[in-house]
Amino acid sequence: MTQELQQPAFSRESIEMLDAMGLGPVWLLRDSMDPLVPTGALRPAGRPQSPSPKRSAVPARAELTAAKTGSLPQAPQSARAAQTSAASPTAPQAVSQPAVGMSTELLSKIASADWQALQTLSQHCTACALSAMGRQHVVFSDGGPGPKLVVVGEAPGAEEDLQGIPFVGKSGKLLTAMLDSLGLVRRRDCVILNVLKCRPPRNRNPQPEEIVCCGHWLARQLELLKPDVLFLAGRFAISSLLKPADEMFSISKMRGRIHLAQLPDGRQVPAVATYHPSYLLRSPAAKSKAWEDLLLLKAAMKQAGLTLPVREKHWD
């Protein structure tokens, strides 16, 4: 009697244990059950198998590692196209990819809204895909109309998304310290905005369509704030408001001088470009250049007729 060779049965737990011990990868026979695939996704037994292109074996350990990092391998383009064409024509569209752009009605509301109405309106924005990517809060601003210095950053991070306030994480603490070095207090002496109002997944760079959508909110904010000086922190704040001709510009070449930024109301106001505080946390050596930018901001404020607060002296 001949005895068939049986492959040892692996469970998800055993594969994870082998992976933790640095053993493997675990290779599975083509017809065996893959423990990393949910049971409900398996083809019922007895159903005839349609011919399919021969696929190369993939080590289970590699799939497990990808699953842990959240970046599962992408199917070939032909397979993704087949899955799309097989979808039911009556199935609803995926909410994670809403149409980019704003309706004429929404644009009209933005153009006529006051500060409070604009903030309320922004909380329900679904103009780009960020609204469906785990957003906790729309990060509208820190402060409102009054101060004539406006600080513009790039996009909210995890802590900003949780609190709904820009620059409250580690980079926010650094920005607060930078402003304090000039005697400036958040909300009292300046308003802080971001180019994007929602956090990009994993803090990735803003996408062009997201900048276009959020640009309507930013433009109306600037119309209402009527700033006399702008302090632009990071590449996307600089590109959005200074619009350099070279799309591949470097911040090092943009900083060091006072620019003129064109506001939505047609005015031109002095603007100082600097590194984003998150970059300064990664590159402490650049903090000396950021200090130079702060001194330039002080000069720009004086040029615009803005008086810096007088710091109180305390004698111990």
Per residue in 217-226, pLDDT (tens digit) is: 999 999 999 9
Say if residue 99's pLDDT is above 80: no
Query: CA-CA distance, 214 to 209, in Å (whole number)?
Result: 9
pLDDT of residue 38: 46
| pLDDT-based confidence at residue 102 (cuts at 50, 70, 90) | confident
The matching CATH number, chosen from 3.40.470.10, 3.40.430.10, 3.40.50.300, 3.30.1310.10, for 104-304 is: 3.40.470.10
Say if residue 253's pLDDT is above 80: yes
Task: Determine if residue 251 is left, alpha or beta; phi over 0 gives left, psi from -120 to 50 gives alpha, anything else beta.
Answer: alpha
**What's the whole-model pTM score?**
0.68
pLDDT of residue 149: 98
Query: CA-CA distance, 224 to 209, in Å (whole number)?
Result: 24
Domain map of the chain by residue range?
Answer: 104-304
Lowest mean pLDDT among 23-27, 87-91, 252-256: 87-91
| pLDDT-based confidence at residue 247 (cuts at 50, 70, 90) | confident
Give CA 98 to chain center in angstroms.
17
For the chain, the first-to-last Cα distance in angstroms comes to 97
Q: Which amino acid is at 171?
A: S
Residue 124 neighbours by CB distance under 10 Å = 9
Structure tokens at 193: 């905005």
